[in-house]
């Protein structure tokens, strides 16, 4: 016969066991935390805010389907203020303090590069958003890029510009290269130099300017003094706007102007500049065009465009919302495909499979870049003034010129003719 003390002990042990069993489902339902920094203020917030809204839509979509591994997804994020110096501290906090299970991003080359050192130290898998050639320095096997540049990312941001130039009559001969002294712009300028290597194009101007520059008129006048036939510029949103306005104020009309002008990928800057952007040829990573209408895209854009006005973000979101959503789809595919939150297994799965996304099916090659480039070059044509946002729903305002497989229109050449 058991003593009363033993009975009490047995009851207590049974109660503890029941409590432990009852806690198991709660722990299993704990959210999977996905962490990132995002530019929500500062110079590139116009694009970062689009990315955040797209990620929030993805979270809601995936949770409506049961989450990942049967657990809901929670987004944990902080504003990096468009400042690369803020990024390492944010990712350290996400991983060491917030204990996120997964990381993504950030958005933009200048932010991704400083994040990489922290991510590598923690052996985590990362899918960056619109970062150019970052892993060409690190060669980190758990890095993946949502930017369709292919195996030679720097060249991809310039090649089409010069291929278009070669097709013109009379063919332009001289080139000016101008870029901000920052990671993204320098990478794009490197691509321009590579694109003209071995050609008969002659470089007559090749310089950088501080990212803090506010007056671009002296820069444009210095370029104009060398009388180049083409100007290839690499700039983020604030300097894109500054360069375009200065070109028009000075009245400088080389035969071709454009390049990697990131500011012209967002609707707000395009609409504010209006007719000033006519004739500019730029690279685009994603277009509102029939050839880019992949499964799931229409549903994403319908949700994005219905929510964007109330949130005060880019009302169309064509360039950035698909990229951010696709980045989340890739990390999710790695988790579900490997049935694991082990970062080695996640990276192995992504490397070994073609992932369906709203940007199309993506296969990753060396350094986590896309196995095949799908960067296109476009030209702004017949854009009206008056801050008219709606006109950019019309794909004829920005036809694709290159490559031929995606071509939707013909170039207006020289640049001055497109401005008439």
Express each pLDDT in 360-382 by its tens digit: 999 999 899 999 999 999 999 99
- Percentage of residues in the chain with pLDDT exceeding 90? 91
pLDDT reported for residue 289: 87
* Cα end-to-end distance, the chain, whole Å: 104
pLDDT reported for residue 320: 96
Express each pLDDT in 346-358 by its tens digit: 999 999 999 999 9
Express each pLDDT in 253-277 by its tens digit: 999 999 999 999 999 999 999 999 9
Please state, as a whole number, how many other Cβ atoms lie within 10 Å of the Cβ of residue 76.
17
Nearest-Å Rg of the Cα atoms of the chain is 24
Angle at 314 between CA 379 and CA 44, to 5 degrees: 80
Express each pLDDT in 91-100 by its tens digit: 999 999 999 9
Are the folds of 32-149+292-368 and 154-284+381-418 the same? yes
Alpha carbon distances (Å) from 273 to 187, 276, 394? 26, 6, 17
DSSP assignment, residue 251?
T
pLDDT reported for residue 23: 41
The topology under which CATH files domain 154-284+381-418 is: Rossmann fold (3.40.50)
Parse the chain into domains and list their residue ranges: 32-149+292-368, 154-284+381-418
Q: What burial class does residue 241 get, using C-beta atoms within 10 Å of its C-beta: 0-12 exposed, 13-18 middle, 19+ buried? A: buried
**Residues 114, 92: Cα–Cα separation, whole Å:** 11
Q: Which residue has the higher pLDDT, 399 or 289?
A: 399
Q: Is the pLDDT of residue 2 over 80?
A: no
Express each pLDDT in 6-50 by its tens digit: 434 444 444 444 444 344 443 557 999 999 999 999 999 999 999
Strands (DSSP E) contained in 98-137 are 102-103, 126-129
User: Nearest Cα to 409, choosing from 253, 316, 289?
Assistant: 289
CATH for 32-149+292-368 (3.40.50.620, 3.40.50.300, 3.40.50.970, 3.40.50.2300): 3.40.50.2300
Express each pLDDT in 128-166 by its tens digit: 999 999 999 899 999 999 999 999 999 999 999 999 999
Average pLDDT estimate for 338-351: 98
Q: Is the pLDDT of residue 290 over 90?
A: no
pLDDT reported for residue 22: 41
Residues 239, 244, 250, 252, Cα dihedral to 10°: 120
Alpha helices in 159-266 (DSSP H): 159-166, 183-196, 217-225, 237-250
- Percentage of residues in the chain with pLDDT exceeding 70? 93
**Residues 289, 283: Cα–Cα separation, whole Å:** 15
Mean of per-residue pLDDT scores for the chain = 93
pTM of the model: 0.89
pLDDT reported for residue 28: 52
Assign residue 69 a region (left: φ > 0; alpha: ψ between -120 and 50; beta: otherwise).
left
pLDDT reported for residue 177: 98
């Amino acid at each position: 016969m058991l003593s009363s003390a033993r009975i009490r002990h047995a009851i207590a042990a049974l109660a503890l066991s029941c409590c432990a069993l009852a806690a198991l489902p709660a722990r299993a339902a704990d959210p999977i935390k996905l962490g990132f920094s995002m530019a929500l203020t500062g110079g590139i917030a116009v694009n970062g805010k689009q990315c955040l809204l797209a990620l929030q839509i993805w979270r809601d979509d995936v949770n409506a389907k049961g989450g990942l591994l049967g657990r809901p997804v929670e987004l944990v994020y902080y504003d990096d203020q468009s400042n690369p110096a803020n990024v390492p501290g944010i990712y350290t906090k996400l991983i060491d303090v917030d204990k996120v299970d997964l990381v993504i991003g950030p958005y933009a080359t200048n932010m991704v590069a400083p994040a990489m050192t922290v991510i590598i130290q923690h052996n985590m898998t990362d899918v960056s958003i619109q970062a150019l050639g970052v892993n060409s320095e690190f060669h980190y096997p758990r890095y993946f890029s949502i930017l369709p540049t292919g195996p030679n990312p720097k060249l991809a941001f310039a090649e089409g510009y010069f291929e278009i130039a070669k097709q013109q009559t009379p063919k332009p001969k001289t080139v000016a290269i101008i870029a901000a002294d920052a990671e993204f712009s320098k990478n794009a300028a490197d691509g321009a130099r590579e694109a003209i290597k071995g050609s008969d194009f002659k470089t007559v101007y090749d310089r950088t300017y501080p990212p803090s520059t506010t007056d671009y008129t002296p820069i444009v006048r210095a370029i104009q003094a060398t009388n180049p036939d083409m100007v290839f510029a690499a700039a983020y949103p604030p300097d894109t706007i500054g360069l375009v306005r200065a070109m028009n104020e000075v009245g400088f009309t080389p035969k071709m102007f454009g390049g990697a002008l990131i500011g012209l990928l967002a609707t707000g800057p395009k609409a504010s500049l209006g007719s000033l952007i006519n004739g500019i040829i730029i690279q685009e990573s994603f277009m509102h065009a029939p050839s880019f209408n992949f499964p799931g895209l229409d549903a994403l854009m319908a949700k994005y465009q219905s929510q964007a006005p109330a949130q005060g973000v880019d009302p169309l979101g064509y360039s950035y919302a698909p990229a951010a959503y696709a980045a989340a789809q890739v990390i999710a595919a790695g988790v579900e495909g490997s049935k694991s939150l082990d970062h080695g297994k996640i990276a192995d799965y992504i490397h070994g499979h073609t992932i369906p996304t709203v940007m199309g099916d993506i296969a990753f090659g060396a350094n986590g870049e896309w196995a095949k480039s799908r960067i296109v070059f476009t030209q702004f044509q017949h854009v009206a003034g008056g801050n008219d946002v709606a006109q950019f729903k019309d794909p004829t305002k920005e036809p694709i010129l290159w490559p031929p497989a995606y071509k939707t229109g013909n170039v207006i050449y020289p640049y001055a003719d497109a401005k008439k």
